[in-house]
Structures are given as structure tokens and as C-alpha cells.
Amino acid sequence: MTLGSFVSTVTRLHINQTFKLCFLKSLSSKAFSCGVQPITVPTAYNLFETSPRRDLLHYNHMLFDYSHNERHQEALDLFLGIWRSDLLVDGSTMSCVLKVCGCMFDQVAGRQLHSQCIKSGFVEDVSVATSLVDMYMKIEASGDARKVFDEMCERNVVSWTSLLTGYAQNGLNDKALSIFSQMHVEGVKPNPFTLAAILGALADYGMVGKGVQVHAIIAKSGFESNLFVCNSLINMYSKSGIVREARVVFDSMENRNAVTWNGMIAGYVTNGMDLEAFKLFYWMRLAGEKLTQMIFATLIKLCANIKELGFARQLHCRVLKCGFAFDHNIKTALMVAYNKCSEMDDAFKMFSMVQGVRNVVTWTAMINGYLQNGVTEQAVYLFCQMIAEGVRPNHYTYSTILMAQPSISIVQLHAHVIKTNYEKSPTVGTALLDAYVKIGNVEEAAKVFELIDEKDIVAWSAMLAGYAQIGETEGCVKLFAQLAKEGFIPNEFTFSSVIHACAAPTAAFEQGKQFHALSIKSRLHNALCVSSALITMYAKRGNIKSANEVFKRQDERDLVSWNSMISGFAQHGQGKKALEVFMDMQRQQLKVDGITFIGVISACTHAGLVDEGERYFNMMVQDHNICPTMELYSCMVDLYSRAGMLEKAMDIINGMPFPASATVWRTLLASCRVHRNLGLGKLAAQKLISLQPQDSAAYVLLSNIYAAAGNWQERAKVRELMDERKVKKEAGYSWIEVKNKTHSFLAGDLSHPLSEKIYSKLEGLNIRLRDMGYQADTNYVLHDVEEEHKAAILSQHSERLAIAFGLIATSPGTPIQIVKNLRVCGDCHSVIKIISMIEGREIVVRDSNRFHHFKGGLCSCGDYW
């Protein structure tokens, strides 16, 4: 007799219906274990339809079967049929259908059933009340769930567990912990499901200390060998980063299932322990454990992390053999692996295979893959296609596609973000403000920042970086103060941004020192990004000694640190030290780039080391295969120009594979002014004016060349041309910081409150200068006036006013540091050397080209600048 005919015979027997149902259910499970197709819910329904009599027991059994097979709508329809037939339902019926409402997220039906339970008195039934708690938690109405729980006349461990699990699933981990503590106080012993739920909440909350306490409770309660609990412990320890403890739990288990192995391997993968993950997979295969979808997904993720394409392809083949090729998670994992291994064709094939079940995660992963591999246009096309197909982007999608600028309009994308109510999301808001920062629109970035609901330290750091990028030191410092006021703890990126802001010439240097002190207090000063920022700040603010001290103390160095130190020494005229740092890099066989050689050639430029500069340029091209950029060519033009080798500078310009930039012509023009080469100066000026008609530098330098040659008529024509084109000459400013306040000066400035004292100090200095044999070099006054008037003009240059103020506003012996936006003239350079000797002060002047360190009558530039 076949199984089917035997079932039919049993059905026709007039025996007890309960026995018949139990027997068929048992037979179904036996058939499944024997490899025979089990009796399905529709089959059972047909059997009940042919039964001579039906009662609530039959309907309840069908409800349970529908619910078990996730046929929730049919279960709900069946319940409505029962209700309409006036058949009295019981607690089992209500518990089952409440579970169905929760799974369907049907809030309306769930609340109606709750009302019926109250009317019928079923809320007194602990199982029904527990189902109500579970239902409300699933529809994310945790307040209603707690109200039902509090009104329960009787509670058991299942009731407590339902509430606790619901809180954990809704992300209310603090409430889940509170319920667990209350259980302990009221003497309710947790079951394995309770312990698993609380361990999951602790894992998500990062409270490993509490997790260890729960582990102790597990040991006392005798659940340490429970498979379900042990798997939860492995998950908790792995998510908390304590993989060693997770492995101890794993090794202590007598019985393991696929979840156990997958949990431990996933723990290794999550914590970056890729080799250990591979070893454990090997032991899993030796143990004969069957490969599941979860294991495959985890292993493929591992291949993606380490870009192991070969093993990913092997796993792909095994997936096909095992019949898991249609598993959505596996296909998505394979797509991500191929993306990370730059196999975009294979990745797109996997993406195409999930066409029927593509969700926002799949689309976002593919978009991210294209962006990571530099295929920006395709990423933007996919994003537009995703929108067209009605798939709603999530916060990660927006954060990803915002990296596609300028291929995508940030304004249009911002409008889309607003429409989908994601503008206040911390991740999307941060990505959006970062995108605005990258295009220089910090004002719009600040507006986005203000709208973010729950700002995290990443959002604060991104906004600080925006202010630092545009040199808005005051805004950056204020934002940092606001961050601290609101209780946020700065991280290394926060400090890096605010320290970079303090590197700006007009920033208060003392604030930079204070942030350095704060980073030491926070034990973040040795973080690579912070120490690199400190090197840059000290170098740009004239304290190359402190920059070098930070550099020497770095535990590890990246290319930014090395480049910053080379450029720092170069800007301070310490060319030989800059080259020593470069040679140290060479000895350590560290990777260099074009920025490294910009620093090296600049060092040669400022020190007049022409032959060395030529050699390093050739080394860059021949030994390091670095193609010269416009900036590097500009450095070579500067190298030759400063040395007066203007013909060689022109050879470089003529030999460039692209047209010379405005910076190149400006560099040449400035040297023509110094070396008084009128013919080449006119050519450079014409080229510069054609590229930047509104740049005053070309007109001013050309007029200065004419003035130096005594050709006042041509000088006047240049000035008239400036007036016609409404080009304004940049005024020469000098700044000095005293007691955290920055003071600025113009030539002949009388606006400072201490002007009388400043000019009195200058007069005294002029007398002492004449006693030392100083005579004004009036060649630097490019006006057609009397010699005596020229000397008076020189004595009132902005840098001299700033130095005079520094001398009267600071105590004797204190170093003075000033910043000038233009090049220091030769006469002022000579005067400052003498002042440093007669006043016994070290004077640091940062002009538009470099730093000058004056001390004892000498300058660090060696009079070569």
C-alpha cells in the first residue's frame, strides 16, 4: 500500500478526530524525515472538509499550520470564517491569530482583536496576554506592549521574555536591560530564549561588562551547555570585539550546529581576523559540518574583505553545486566580492541574476562597487534606474551616491533627500555637508549641519573640516567650543581639523598650542592624523623646531608626515635638512609621490641648489616614473628664475607638454622684476594678463620693472590700463599676534590705538640704524619722487610697523613673528637683520614666498630669496 492510499484509508475511518489529526501530523513529520513529500496545509484542509464533523480543534490545528507555514493571510481569513460561523473560540485561537497579526504588521486587526479579548475576558489568559505583548512589539508599539504587560494578572517567563525580546528588537536596549534586572529582582528564572535576547541586546549596546555578568548567571542556571545560549554568547563576545572569549565558549561546546560555526567564523571576519576565519573553516570541513547558506554568505564576505578572487570563484562553484544559487543573500555577497576584486562584469552578472528580488541593499552595493572602481557615470546611471523602478533609497544609498560628484548634481540630490525625509539623518546629513564642503560651499554645509537631528562626532568633525578647508579659523574654533559644551568627546579627526584651521596665517597661534595640549590630555596627540596636522601647523606658523620635535616623536609616519616635514624645512630655508629627510625616506625605501618632489625641488630653490634640483627632477621622472605636473614644472621654473637663469626657465616653459599656467608666468615675471629683464618681463606679463585679466600681480610687477628701469612713461601706461579695467592693486598687509589678539598694519598706517608709540619707536630705531651705518636702498621705492621722500616711504612699510609694535608690546627677549601677504622688499630685509641684532630679538617674517628667521644680524635665507 502506498503512503497516499494509506492516508486516504485513515481519513475514511470513523475514529476519534483528535487522534486522526495527531496521527496525520505525526505521519507528515515521519514522511518528511524519510524523504517523502509531507502532507501540506491544503491537503490537511481537504481532509478536514471531508470529515463527518468539524469543531474548534480542527480549525485551531489549521490556524497553527497556516501560521507555521507563514501563510498569514489565509490564517486571518480562516479566523474570520470561524468568527462568522458563531463558533466559540478559545485562548489558543486568539493567541495564534494575534501572532499572525504581528507577523503581518497589521496594526488595525491587532487592535481590534485586543478589544475582543477584553470583551471576552481572554486578557486574563496568560498565553493570550503574552501574545498581545508580542504582537504590539512586532508592530513597534512598545508603549502598548508594556501597558498590557503591566496589567497582566499572571506572568510567566514567556511573558517576560516576550517583552524583553520586543524591546531588544525595537532597539530599546536600555529598557531590555531594565526588564532583565526586574526579572532577577522578582525571582523569575530566565529561560534560554530570555538569555539569548538579553545577550543580543548587550551585543548591540556594546556592554560587554554586563554580558560577562549574564554569562555568570548562565553558568549558575545550568544553561552553559545549551546550544541556543552558547551561540548567543559567541555572537555577544564577537560583536564586542572579544573574539578570544567567543572562542573559549566555542571550544567548550560539546555539540555545535551550523549556526555555531557560522557565528564563530563571522566573528573572526567582523574583527578583521581573516586568517583565523580561514583556519576555522578548514576545521569545520574536517568536522563534516554541512555547508549552509549562512556559511557561504560569511565566507564570500571574507573573500571580499581580503580581495581573494580565486577562492570567491571556488565558493561560487560550490554554491551552484549545493543548489544555493538562488539565495538572495549569497548572490548579493558574490556581487560585493566581485565588486571589491574589480571584476565588474561578473558583479553585474550577479546583479542581473537578482533582478526579481532586488532590494535597496542590492542596488546600493552595486552602485558602491562602481564608485569604488572609478566607474562614476555607471554608478549615477544605476542610481537613476533604481529611482525609476520605484526602489526607495535608504540612508546608505544617499551616503554612497553623494561620493559621485561632480557627475551628479548635489543640488538635485539634496532636493531628493529632502523629499524622502532623510535630510535630518546623521549619516545622510553628514555625507551631504561633506559634499558641499568639497565644492567649497561651506555656507550651505553649515545649514545642512544645523538640520541634523542627532549629531554624532562624525558630523561635528566633518563640519570642522569644512571650516578648516576654507581657512575659517574663527568658525572652526567656535564650533569646537560648542561641541565640547554639548558633551561630545573629540576624536582624532576632530583634533586634526581644528589644528589644521590654526595653521592659517591669520589664526591665533596660541589657540593651536592649546589644542595641542588638549590632544595630549585626551591621549590623541600620537594619532597619525593629529601628529601630521601638528607638523603642518607648527611649520606653517614659523616654529619649524617644534614641527621637527613632533615628527621625531611619531610612532608611525605616513607619506603626509614625510612630505609635511620636507616642505616645512624648505619653506624655512633649511634646504639641507629637507634633503636629509628625503634621503632618509630613500634609505627606508618608502614610497614617494609628486608632492614629495615638489617639497624637495622647493628646498633646492630656496637654497639656490640648482644642480641638485635638476638631479632630483630627473630622478623623479627616470627612477620613480612620476610624470611632471604643472606644479612640478612651476617649481623648476622657479628654481632657474631665482638663480637668474631665465633662459633655462623659458626652455622649461617651451618644453612643457601643456600650456603654461598663470602660476608659471607669475613666477617668471617676479624673477624678471628682481633681475630687471624688461624684454622677458613684458612677454610674461602679456601671457599672465591674457590668462587672468583681473589679477593685479601682472600689472604691478610689469609697472615695477618699468619703474626700476626709470621708464616712468610706460609705468604710467600700465597704471592707466589697470584703471580702465578696474583692476585693484592688492594692498600690502602685515599681521602680528600678541596676547591671543591679531593686529594688522598697512604701510603708513595711523589707525592703530598705539600709533604714536609705534612711530616713536620707529624713529628711535631709525636713529640707531643710521648709527650702525644703514643707508636706505631707494631702488625699492617705485615712485617718481625725491630720494628723501623715498626713504620716508621705506621707513613706514607695514612689516616695520608690525615689528615696532611687537617690540613695545612684548617683553625684552621675546621672539617676534609677523606675517606679510606680499614679498618682503630688499631694504626691509636689510633693516630687519640689523634690528634683530640691536634689539637682541629673534624675528620671524613669513612673506608670500617663505619664512625668514632673523637673528643676530643674519637671516636664514642667506640673502637668497
pLDDT at residue number 565:
95
pLDDT at residue number 782:
53
* Residue 458 pLDDT > 80: yes
843-846: strand order across its sheet: 741-746, 733-738, 816-820, 843-846, 851-855, 858-859
Higher per-residue confidence, 146 vs 2 = 146
Smallest CA-to-CA distance from 135 within 88, 94, 174 is with 94
Q: What's the CA gap between 591 and 713, in Å, rounded? A: 55
Helix (H) or strand (E) holding 843: strand 843-846
User: Mean per-residue pLDDT for 218-226?
Assistant: 85
For 46-85, the pLDDT digits (tens) are 434 444 446 788 778 888 888 888 888 888 888 888 887 7
Q: Which residues have a Cβ under 8 Å from the Cβ of 571 and sit 6 or more positions away?
A: 539, 540, 602, 606, 850, 851
* Residue 39 pLDDT > 60: no
pLDDT at residue number 321:
85
For 251-295, the pLDDT digits (tens) are 999 889 999 999 999 999 888 898 899 899 889 988 888 888 888
Which residues are bridge partners to 735 per DSSP? 744, 819
- Total number of residues shown for the chain: 865
* Residue 3 pLDDT > 60: no
How does residue 701 score in pLDDT terms, banded at 50, 70 and 90?
A: confident
User: CA torsion, points 389, 395, 399, 404, in degrees to nearest 10?
Assistant: 10
User: Mean per-residue pLDDT for 590-596?
Assistant: 93
Helix (H) or strand (E) holding 499: helix 492-501
CA atoms within 13 A on the CB side of 462: 24
Kindly give the pairing relationship between strand 843-846 and strand 741-746. unpaired
* Coil, helix or strand at residue 858: strand
pLDDT at residue number 439:
87
If you average pLDDT over every residue of the chain, what do you get? 85
For 313-329, the pLDDT digits (tens) are 988 998 888 888 778 78
pLDDT at residue number 25:
40
Q: What's the CA gap between 95 and 337, in Å, rounded? A: 44
Q: Which three cell numbers stand for residue 236?
A: 555577544
Position 386, amino acid: M
pLDDT at residue number 850:
87
- The answer to whether residues 739 and 805 touch, using CB atoms and an 8 Å cutoff, is no
How does residue 181 score in pLDDT terms, banded at 50, 70 and 90?
A: confident
How does residue 790 score in pLDDT terms, banded at 50, 70 and 90?
A: low
Q: What's the CA gap between 582 and 578, in Å, rounded? A: 6
Which residues are bridge partners to 734 per DSSP? 745, 820
pLDDT at residue number 786:
52
Which residues are bridge partners to 855 per DSSP? 858
Burial class (CB in 10 A: 0-12, 13-18, 19+), 257: middle
Smallest CA-to-CA distance from 282 within 297, 299, 270, 294 is with 299
For 492-544, the pLDDT digits (tens) are 999 999 999 998 877 778 889 999 999 999 999 989 999 999 999 999 988 99
Q: Which three cell numbers stand for residue 634?
A: 612651476
User: Mean per-residue pLDDT for 816-845?
Assistant: 92
* Residue 823 pLDDT > 80: yes
* Residue 134 pLDDT > 60: yes
* Residue 36 pLDDT > 50: no
* Residue 17 pLDDT > 80: no
How far from chain centre, in Å, is Cα 343? 25
pLDDT at residue number 436:
92
Q: Which residue has the cell 496521527?
A: 23
* Residue 296 pLDDT > 50: yes
pLDDT at residue number 37:
39
* Residue 690 pLDDT > 80: yes
How does residue 9 score in pLDDT terms, banded at 50, 70 and 90?
A: very low
pLDDT at residue number 739:
86
* Residue 123 pLDDT > 70: yes
- The answer to whether residues 277 and 268 touch, using CB atoms and an 8 Å cutoff, is yes
Residues 760, 764, 767, 769: is their CA dihedral positive or negative? Answer: negative
* Residue 7 pLDDT > 70: no
How does residue 729 score in pLDDT terms, banded at 50, 70 and 90?
A: confident
